[in-house]
């Protein structure tokens, strides 16, 4: 659905309690930008394919895929879409460092989670289940390195639109938003999602900073 000129909102289904999420295709004259992807499931893939077709596009029309962060909901279909479209994949520099540790070899991550749960008094009987609680989503994501590494203040240009990259850590340590000042278009990913704390603990390497960091960057976005 074209929600404003040249911006197509695409609803992709999710397998959990939340039934869908929104991703966006931004039209350009020499290529199109997809912001986020949805999980790597046949349902999400089919919904994206059908929505693109409805708006007069195909996978090959996607030239850049920019993910606001590397959670499977936002990065899951990257591998498949890259293969089908030949698009370049763009991701924030901090998130790019976690692809392998989260979705590839994640022994260290599991060890850190276990240590954190133990240090915070989680009963021994529940440690294993809680430590591995997020591993189920690995099946829905991509272990693909980005082609373009984005940093705070970088820009992505699509035709006459120039999207500024704003680092917004909190929900995920290297979460980014995309802002187009001329048209006042703001793509916020998951910064307003309530699950923002635990994922920041390990990368900041101490427990006290994420809240302050999150609020400071949130204020920046609002201003
Ligand atoms: Zn997320």
Q: How many angstroms is it from 29 CA to the middle of ligand 1? A: 30
More confident call, 103 vs 3? 3
Q: Determine contact, residues 196/209, Cβ cutoff 8 Å.
A: no
Q: How many angstroms is it from 160 CA to the middle of ligand 1? A: 29
Averaged pLDDT of the chain: 86
Spatial neighbors of 86 by CB under 8 A, at least 6 apart, are 60
Q: Please tell me the total count of domains within the chain.
A: 1
Mean pLDDT of 26-49: 94
Q: How many angstroms is it from 87 CA to the middle of ligand 1? A: 22
Q: What domain range is 162 assigned to?
A: 2-104+140-222
CATH at residue 156: 3.60.15.10
Residues with CB under 5 A from ligand 1 (ion): 71, 190
Q: How many angstroms is it from 138 CA to the middle of ligand 1? A: 14
Within a domain: 113: no
Mean pLDDT of 60-64: 96
Percent of the chain whose predicted confidence (pLDDT) is above 70: 86
Q: How many angstroms is it from 126 CA to the middle of ligand 1? A: 25
Percent of the chain whose predicted confidence (pLDDT) is above 90: 53
**For 110, phi and psi rounded to 5 degrees?**
-65, -40
Within a domain: 122: no
Q: How does pLDDT run across 105-152, given as a tens digit for each residue? A: 888 888 888 888 888 888 889 988 888 887 878 888 878 999 999 999
Cross-sheet strand order for the sheet of 176-180: 155-158, 161-167, 176-180, 185-187
Q: How does pLDDT run across 169-222, given as a tens digit for each residue? A: 888 889 999 999 999 999 999 987 655 444 445 444 444 445 666 667 667 666
């Amino acid at each position: 659905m074209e929600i404003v000129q040249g911006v197509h909102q695409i609803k992709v289904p999710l397998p959990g309690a939340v039934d869908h999420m929104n991703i966006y295709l931004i039209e350009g004259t020499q290529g199109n930008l997809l912001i986020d992807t949805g999980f790597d499931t046949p349902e999400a893939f089919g919904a994206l394919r059908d929505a693109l077709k409805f708006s007069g596009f195909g996978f090959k029309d996607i030239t850049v895929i920019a993910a606001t962060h590397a959670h499977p909901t936002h990065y899951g279909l990257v591998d498949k879409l890259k293969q089908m479209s030949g698009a370049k994949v763009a991701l924030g520099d901090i998130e790019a460092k976690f692809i392998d540790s989260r979705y590839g070899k994640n022994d260290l991550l599991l060890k850190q989670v276990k240590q954190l749960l133990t240090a915070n008094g989680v009963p021994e009987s529940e440690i294993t289940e809680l430590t591995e609680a997020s591993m189920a989503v690995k099946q829905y994501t991509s272990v693909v390195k980005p082609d373009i590494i984005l940093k705070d203040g970088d820009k992505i240009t699509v035709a006459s639109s120039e999207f500024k990259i704003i680092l917004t850590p909190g929900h995920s340590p290297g979460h980014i938003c995309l802002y187009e000042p001329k048209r006042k278009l703001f793509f916020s990913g998951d910064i307003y999602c309530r699950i923002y704390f635990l994922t920041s603990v390990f990368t900041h390497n101490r427990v006290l900073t994420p809240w302050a960091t999150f609020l400071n960057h949130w204020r920046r976005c609002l201003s």
